Amino acid sequence: MARRVQLAREVAKVKMVAKLPLYRGDKEKERLEEVGKWADTEGIDPLFARSLLYSVIGESCKQQMILKDSCNGEVTVHVDKESWHKRLRANLIELTKMWAPTYDKEYGKEFVSTRLHQAYEEEILGQMVESLPHHEAIVDLGCATGRVALQFGPRFRQRFGYDVSPDMIEVALRHAAERHNRNVYFEVHDIEMGIPLANDSVSLVVMNQGTGSDIQNISGLLAEIERVLKPEGQFFVSFYNAQALAYRTFLPWPLTLAAEINVNENYLEVHCKGKIIPVYAEAYSVDKVENLFTGRLLSVTQVSTHPTVGAILPNDVYTEQAVASFVERLDRSLALGDAYFGAYIVVCGVKNRSV
């Protein structure tokens, strides 16, 4: 059933592109008649068989209509990899333009698990900042409005933030000016092209909120992180988890995440102002992520996945504070376990001294 609903959503995209109606009553009637005849030959009550199929068809049509409403009937079905990536890239720029003015106040506002995960990441980053042997520079890759660099940057001599979105960088620069922060540098830059900083100059590199999955040439970017980090400098990199509990089963309610990975097609469905916008993202397993660091001077010190249970529960669960607190504690305890079912894979590590 989960696979059928997933396929029904993909079919809906094709129908919308071709300007075909989602519901075809004559076709559905024909299928119901066929299953009734089949049931009769098998000694099953035809009405019972038809009622089962009718429920299945009804759920599929409902999911198709939900998808159509969420994207205003505007979808793009990718034909080849290159054109699809170009479309996803254009979607990213469109998305950031829409989000930038209200990103800090509204992103994750209606999605409890996203807010809880932001708090989880911030706790880890705080611990990393305290444990660093030096505080030369912090670099936030895919910095959006500069939250990480501005929040954790005061401990560092310099702060850098790079993002492909001019609109996000404009907001980040405004935030820095409003706070009268010095030695803060936000720049429009595609990190797929590398990191424009000197060798061995950075104490902490951050790619949070699944940004590692957004990079097509992740191996090349990790080489850049290795290059710019000072010996004993640390890194924090986050990926979307292909093995997350949230993607292992069909749920009859929306996930409490502001962005959901399509593990089959390698794109991210981002909820933005009542629309769902697909952007490029690749889902990873923990094993695949750990293999990315093999043979480098970058040693992984901690791998966690988060949130696990919270991501699959409906928003209504969180209306009771006692329940919400319990779920948060449960996900914290599961984060460092060996099941790895959380929505995000968070990798922390250090650059070793070369031999």
Q: Alpha carbon of 267 to those of 11, 87, 226, 240, 342: distances in Å? A: 17, 11, 27, 10, 18
Residues 209/140, Cβ–Cβ less than 8 Å = no
Distance CA 140, CA 301 (A): 20
- Regarding beta strands 158-163 and 137-141, do their DSSP bridges make them parallel or antiparallel, or are they unpaired? parallel
User: Token pair for residue 228?
Assistant: 């710019």
In this predicted structure, what is the pLDDT of residue 72?
64
Distance CA 352, CA 123 (A): 24
The residue ranking higher by pLDDT, 210 or 66, is 210
Tally of CA atoms within 13 A in the half-sphere of 329 that contains its CB:
6
Residues 123/190, Cβ–Cβ less than 8 Å = no
- pTM, whole model, 2 decimals? 0.79
Spell out the residues 6+ positions from residue 292 whose beta carbon is closer than 8 angstroms to its own: 218, 219, 222
Name the CA dihedral angle for 288, 307, 304, 222, rounded to a multiple of 10 degrees.
50
**pLDDT confidence of 250, banded at 50, 70, 90?**
low
Distance CA 83, CA 111 (A): 31
Residues 39-59: b if buried by 16+ CB within 10 A, e if exposed: beeeeeebeebbeebeeebeb
Distance CA 100, CA 163 (A): 12
Residues 135/156, Cβ–Cβ less than 8 Å = yes
The residue ranking higher by pLDDT, 297 or 69, is 297
Q: For the chain, what is the mean pLDDT? A: 90
- Reported as a single tens digit per residue, the pLDDT across 19-66 is 888 888 888 889 899 999 999 999 999 999 999 988 888 888 888 887
- Helices 2-17, 46-70: inter-axial angle, 10-degree rounding: 50
What is the phi/psi pair of residue 243, to 5°? -100, 15
- Reported as a single tens digit per residue, the pLDDT across 281-326 is 999 999 999 999 999 999 999 999 999 999 999 888 888 899 989 9
Of 47-56, 114-123, 182-191, which gets the smallest average pLDDT? 47-56
For the cut 60, the answer to whether the pLDDT of residue 133 exceeds it is yes
**pLDDT confidence of 14, banded at 50, 70, 90?**
confident
**Domains in the chain, ordered, with CATH?**
2-76 (1.20.59.10), 89-351 (3.40.50.150)
Of 123-127, 183-187, 207-211, 251-255, which gets the smallest average pLDDT? 251-255
Residue 165's nearest CA partner among 184, 149, 141 is 141
In this predicted structure, what is the pLDDT of residue 8?
85
Helix (H, G, I), strand (E, B) or coil at 139: strand
Residues 352/296, Cβ–Cβ less than 8 Å = no
Q: Give 201-239 as a DSSP string.
A: -EEEEEE-TTGGGG-TTHHHHHHHHHHHEEEEEEEEEEE
Distance CA 156, CA 128 (A): 13
In this predicted structure, what is the pLDDT of residue 160?
98
Exposed, middle or buried, 338 (CB in 10 Å: 0-12/13-18/19+)?
exposed
Distance CA 297, CA 226 (A): 7
